[in-house]
Structures are given as C-alpha cells and as structure tokens.
Amino acid sequence: MATSASRTKFKDIINTGFGANTNAEGGRLVNPDGSNNLKKTGMPLYERISIYHTLLRMSRFKFMIAILFFYTSINLFFAFIYFAIGVNHLSGIDINHPIWMRFVEAFFFSSQTLTTVGYGHVAPSGLLTNFVASTESLLGILAFAVVTGLIYGRFSRPKAYLLFSKNMLIAPYRGSKALMIRLATYKNNHLTDAEAQLTVAMHVMEDGKKITRFYQLPLEISRVTSLALSWTVVHPINEDSPLANLTEEQMNEAKLEIILSIKAFDDHFSNTVQQRTSYSHNQLVYGARFLPMFDRAREGAYTILELDKINHHEKVVIVEDVTG
C-alpha cells in the first residue's frame, strides 16, 4: 500500500512514551482535553490516585459538593458520639427534648465546634465530652488548613487558558499545502515565549502488519515571543513531511491523530504553563483556510480579538501537486 510504503524514508520517533503496538486498532491515544487515553491496573486504587491531583482537577461544582459532603459527614459522626456519650453532658441541651431533636442539637453543637465558632450556649461538660470536643476542634482546624491549601492550590495552579480551533485544516500554502491549527488565549492572561510541538500518530503497514508510528511534524514557526493574538500553527506538507503525498482518503485510512502541545511562560505569574490537545482524523477538514479573527477597533485605539471566530474557515480547492 502506497500510504505505508511512502513513510519508510521518515525516521519515526520512538520516544513518545507510547509504544508501537501491532494491534493498532485501538482508540485514540490522547483525549481532546490533553489527558492520555490510558488506564492503570495492578495497584490498589488508593496508591494509584493522588488525592491532591484529583481534588485540584475536579470541577468547581464537584469540589463544593465534596466539601459539603465531608462537612456533613464529620458532623454526623461527632453528633453520634456526643449522643452516645449522652447529651446530658452538653449543658444547654434540654434532656427532655424528643430523641431526634437532641440528636439534631448534638449535630449543631458539633458544627459549632468544628468551625470553632463556639457560641457557648451549648457547651461540653464531663471528661469524655470535653475530650471529644477538644479533639473535634483540633480536627476542625486541621481540616480547615487542608481546605485552605486545596483552595489556594486550585487558584494558583498554572493554567494556559488556551482555546483551540475545533478542526485542523489542510490549507493551500506556498504552492503546496499545509496542516493548520489555530489557538488563542481566552482569558486576561498573557503568554510569552510560546513553543508548539506537533506529533502525528498514524497507522502504517510494516511486514504486512498494521502498526502505529509516530512522527514529529516540523513547523513553519515553532516559537512565538508573545501570544497576544491568535496563533496559527502551520506544518508545511512538503517533501520533508511524513504527510506528503497523502490524499484525503489515505489520511482517514491511516487514522491520523495529531497531538499538539503548547508550552509557554505566563507573564503574570512568572511560571511555565502547558496545554495539550489532540485531533482525530474525523476533525480534519481537507481544503479550507482560517478566516481572520482579529481586527483593529474602528477608532483605531486598540486591537479586537474575536474568540468566537477561532474555528471560522472557508472551503478552498487544493491543487494536488502530482510531481511530489
């Protein structure tokens, strides 16, 4: 098959961290959000999971739910203990109240102890209850320290805030064609010294077997000094490209997966940020070019970057170079 045969002159890269697998009919390697499409086994879950990583990656809503859940659980746990010891050791709680009410009052005493608000209209008396309350207030302080750390960790986690075009395009380029992906920062952050790295994973035939090969795709510009506006990452498909001479059908057949990794310096926080994404062959638009997404403001005082136009493209005809 021509597709595979024509690739042999390119040095494939074996240092991608993914192996070449003879059973190439798997799913994608990298998810669109940049995580690896991978599952680890052979170790218990609690050893395989970094709780801190997980709590930082969690959505804001889930994080709030998790905190509410822990707050309620701990209070229920201690309410049960106070109740078991006897609410008569909590001065201020009427022991003639019905049982559910006394439990609820123990619950609220627990919450006042855990948050260290300690109004004192309910207060511990007796050795055991005092001991439990003393432990709970320490736990409250430690839990709070953990939450402070988590919230700061979530806040300060370096993020690139990059928006990628939904499609990758094969566009006309200097008499030939090029693979193009567009990206821009969408927040009020400013990235400098941004570097792009483009890798392709494709199925090729070798010794009659379909295997996955990886190639680095050279870029027209692989580094920009400032990511103020949008950046169109361009891989020229010339004779040096592993994608040379592939037709649209052959690209789909080879189940192209393009992994784009951006590394940049966040101007404001002074640290390095990184973001990855992946395009599968069904996100490829063959014969199209991006339309501009920024312009000078009418009054000419500043530049406008229209983020909703990041994927705006128009169809164009690509004249296939038959002499390639």
Q: Which of residues 277-296 bind a copy of itself (CB under 8 A)?
A: 294-296
Is residue 115 close enough to count as binding a copy of itself by CB under 8 A? yes
Nearer to a copy of itself, 22 or 247 (CB): 22
Q: In terms of Cα–Cα distance, which of 75, 152, 140 is closest to 114?
A: 140
Site string for a copy of itself, 8-47 (x = CB under 8 A): -----xxxxxxx-x-x-xxx-x----xxxxxxxxxx---x
> Residue 28's closest CA among 165, 203, 196?
203
The torsion of the CA quartet 113, 114, 117, 120, rounded to 10 degrees, works out to: -10
| Short-list 262, 240, 236, CA closest to 176 | 236
3-class DSSP assignment, residue 52:
helix
The residues pairing with 195 across neighbouring beta strands, listed in sequence order, are 223, 263
60 CB-near residues (< 8 Å, 6+ apart):
none
Q: What is the CA radius of gyration of the chain?
A: 29
Nearer to a copy of itself, 151 or 319 (CB): 151
User: For residues 310 and 282, is the Cβ–Cβ distance under 8 A?
Assistant: no
- On whether the CB atoms of residues 170 and 287 are closer than 8 A, the answer is yes
Binding residues for a copy of itself restricted to 118-147, rule: CB under 8 A: 118-121, 123-125, 127, 130-131, 133-134, 137-138, 140-142, 144-147
| Total residues at interface with a copy of itself (CB under 8 A) | 122
The residue (of 173 and 246) whose beta carbon lies closer to a copy of itself is: 173
Which residue stretch of 79-87, 227-235, 250-258, 283-291 sits at the interface with a copy of itself (rule: CB under 8 A)?
Answer: 227-235
Name which position in 239, 249, 306, 314 contacts a copy of itself (CB under 8 A): 306
186-205 residues near a copy of itself, rule: CB under 8 A: 186-190, 192, 194, 197, 199
User: What character string, x for contact with a copy of itself (CB under 8 A) and - otherwise, covers 242-281?
Assistant: -------------------x---x-xxxxxxxx-x-----
Helices 127-156, 99-114: axis angle to 10 degrees equals 50
Shortest Å, Cβ 320 to a copy of itself: 27
Confirm or reject binding of residue 61 to a copy of itself (CB under 8 A): no
- Of 106 and 179, the one with the shorter C-beta distance to a copy of itself is 106
Smallest distance, a copy of itself to C-beta of residue 12, A? 13
Cα(20)–Cα(201) distance, integer angstroms? 10
Q: Binding of a copy of itself at residue 62 (CB under 8 A)?
A: no
